[in-house]
Amino acid sequence: MTATSSIAPVNDPLGYGFAVAGAVLFSTKGIFIKLAYGHGVSTEMLLSLRMLVALPVYLVILATLLRRGDSLRRLLTPKVVLASMAVGILGYYLSSYLDFLGLAFVSAQYERLVLFTYPFFVLLFGVWFFGDAMLWRVVPAMLVSYAGLLVIFGWNLAVNPDGLLAGTLLVLGSAITFALYQHLAKRQMLVIGAGLFTCIGMSTAAVVAIAQNLVLVGPASYLTLTPAIWSYGLALGLLGTVLPSFLMNMGMARIGARATSSTAAFGPIVTIVIAVWVLGEPFTLFHALGTALVLAGSVLFTRAERMAQRQLP
C-alpha cells in the first residue's frame, strides 16, 4: 500500500473550498458553547440540544436520499449501516462530548488551538493503522505547533491553572478521536457517499446524545430552559453542526483526510477573533506567540505533505 492509500487527489479547488468553509463554521462551536455555559446549562443538556436541532435535518435528508432509487438502498447492508453508525458515534458523539467537557475548563481560543493538532494524529494513525508511509519531514512542523501550545499552556498555568490540565486532556482526547474518525469515515464514504454516511452517522450520534441527557435529567428538563439557551442550541445545531459536517465530509470525499485536515488553519483564527470580541477573552503577547507558532507549524506541515505527494510516481 502506498503513502497515499488513504488520500484522494488534492488538486481540487472545490474540495478545498468545502473543507475551509466547514472548518470556519466548526470554529464557531466553542463560542456558542461558552456563551451557553454562562447561563448555567450542563454539558449533557447542551450537547443534546445541539443534536435535537440537527437530528430532524439529517433524517429529512436521509429520507430524501433513500427515495432517489434502489441503488442507494442496496448499498445499505447491515454491515455497512452498523459500521457507519459506529463511526458516527466516535466522531460526532464521543469527540464532541470530550470537546464540550473540555470547554468547561479552558478558553475557546485555547480549545481551538488544541483541536488544531488533530492533523498530526491523522498522519500518525495513517501510519500506525492504515498502511501510510511516515513523512519524517513533517516532524519539525509538529514540534513547532506543540511549542506554540506549550507557550499558551504555560501562560494559563501561571495565570489561571484551575482545571487547565483536565481541560487540555479532554480537548486533546477530542482531537485524537476526531482524527481516527476521519480515517474511518473516509472508508465509509467511499462505499455509500458523503451525504448518506453523514446522515447515518450524525443521526446515530444525535440519538445517543439525546438519550444520555434523558437518562440523566428526564424529558421535563427541556421545559425549564430559557429562550437564550434554546437559541444557542439552535446555533450549535445548524451553524456548528449541520452545515459544517456536510461541508467537511464533502471536502474529505474529494481531497482525502490528510488534505482536509490541513485546511483547519482557518478555524483558530476565526475563533480567536470572535472569542476576544464576543467573550472578552484575553489576547496577550504569549497568546500571539503561541498562536503564531501553532499556525506556522500547520503551514510547514501542509507544505511538507504537498512536497511529498508531488514526488510520488
pLDDT at position 264? 65
Q: Do residues 204 and 82 make contact, with C-beta atoms less than 8 angstroms apart?
A: no
Q: Whats the size of the chain, residue-wise? A: 313
240/181 Cα distance (integer angstroms): 18
Give the mean pLDDT of 206-216: 96
Q: Do residues 87 and 185 make contact, with C-beta atoms less than 8 angstroms apart?
A: yes
Q: 18 pLDDT exceeds 90? A: no
pLDDT at position 3? 36
The C-alpha cell at 45 is 443538556
Q: 265 pLDDT exceeds 70? A: no
pLDDT at position 310? 62
Helix (DSSP H) and strand (DSSP E) numbers for the chain: 16, 0
Q: 5 pLDDT exceeds 60? A: no
Q: 227 pLDDT exceeds 60? A: yes
Q: 85 pLDDT exceeds 80? A: yes
Q: Do residues 72 and 200 make contact, with C-beta atoms less than 8 angstroms apart?
A: no
Q: 59 pLDDT exceeds 80? A: yes
Reported confidence tier of residue 262, pLDDT bands at 50, 70, 90: low
Residue 256 backbone phi and psi in degrees, to 5? 90, 170
68/88 Cα distance (integer angstroms): 23
Q: Do residues 13 and 261 make contact, with C-beta atoms less than 8 angstroms apart?
A: no
Report which of 94, 43, 84, 51 is spatially closest to residue 217, judged by C-alpha positions. 43
Compute the radius of gyration of the chain from its Cα atoms. 19
Q: 63 pLDDT exceeds 50? A: yes
Q: Which amino acid belongs to residue 104?
A: A
Q: 175 pLDDT exceeds 80? A: yes
| Least confident piece of the model among 4-13, 94-103, 295-304 | 4-13
272/295 Cα distance (integer angstroms): 12
The C-alpha cell at 67 is 427515495
The C-alpha cell at 214 is 434523558
SS3 state of residue 162: coil
Average pLDDT value over all residues in the chain: 84
Q: 258 pLDDT exceeds 70? A: no
Give the mean pLDDT of 244-248: 81
